[in-house]
Amino acid sequence: MVPHLVGFVPEHSFVVVGLELGSNRSVITLRFDIPPAGLSDDELVQVLGVWTYSMEALRRAGAAAVTVVLYPGDADDRWSDVVVDELPYRELAELLEEMLVAAEYEVREVVCVVGERVRSYLCDNLDCCPTEGRALDPSEALRIRASLVEQGSAPMPSRRAVAEALDAREDDDEFRGAVLRARPGALARQSSDVVQDVEAFLHAAARWGRDRDGRTQRFTRLVATAGLLVTDIAPRDYLLRELAVECDRPELEAVRAVLTEAVRCARGPEVAPLAAVLGVAAWLAGDGAAARVALDRSLAADPAYSL
């Protein structure tokens, strides 16, 4: 479940899943980098401070219980290749448990995950939690993954892959060239009616999303139009309002696909509004990882962009 909740397969990370009291329903998922080895005491205190601050999100989301999942992802993690008695990052696991208990959360479990094997940091019963860990039930894992993918959840293989999905297209890229050539026509179709322009864009995006006919002329026009809509505040903000209030999930995902390509085709400061709106769209879809990556792109393009 965790890669679907996070949006990608975590590496060198720990994930805190906030749960409702008395149930297994997740209300929030937080992912953190495992601190690098060799931090000074001051640096470690700074990291702990960030964790403590971030954990408050659990309370704001209404979580009363937590499950913590560690993904070592280190080349020198022997447990991934050889069965050893000691799990990696046990001190970190114990620290996290202490922090969460002190904050009055019920800690359901703290586990280490490597590949398809899981082992608990809290359980010493070898009948329940053997040294080599417990293998996930392949049929159950497949059932869950298939169910989630059918609902539109397909996690990226890594966080790097999430960022690379927004890499700029080359200047001589064929699709970028087609978008640039479509801009004059898209501009000519714009009217002075903000509502009409935004709703026409959303209607066209939803229609494209129903058949996803690839990099066709229709999609190219949508990408060109997106860049025009977010340049001015009025259409940009009306678009945000429609995404947040009126759009269903399929329409939202279609707009995300259009905005993603618009970001990739844009250059310089024009990236900022597109990436900021994409970040909001990703957040509305529950994809925090993609939202953060998009906002990073926006700030990198124009640190002073007000949205």
Give the pLDDT of residue 213: 65
The angle that helices 217-229 and 174-189 make with each other, rounded to 10 degrees, is: 60
Return the DSSP state at 32: E
E strands within 44-175? 65-71, 106-114, 117-120, 134-135
What confidence tens digit (pLDDT) does each residue in 203-259 have? 999 999 888 765 588 899 999 999 999 999 999 999 999 999 999 989 999 999 999
Is residue 227 within 8 A of residue 178, CB to CB? The reply is no
User: Per the structure block, which two tokens stand in for 179?
Assistant: 């978008």
| Cα gap 284→278, rounded to integer Å | 10
- CB under 8 Å, gap of 24 or more: what pairs does 205-212 form? 205/251, 205/254, 205/255, 205/258, 206/250, 206/251, 206/254, 208/254, 208/258, 209/250, 209/251, 209/253, 209/254, 209/257, 210/250
Instruction: Provide the 8-state DSSP code for 8.
Output: B
What is the structure's pLDDT at 88? 86
Rounded Cα distance between 51 and 97, Å, is 13
Question: Tens digit of pLDDT for each residue in 51-102?
Answer: 999 999 999 999 999 999 999 876 445 666 665 667 888 889 999 999 999 9
Mean pLDDT of the chain: 89
pLDDT tens readout for residues 121-149: 998 888 888 888 888 888 888 888 888 87
Predicted pLDDT of residue 235: 95
Question: What share of the chain has pLDDT > 90, as a percent?
Answer: 59
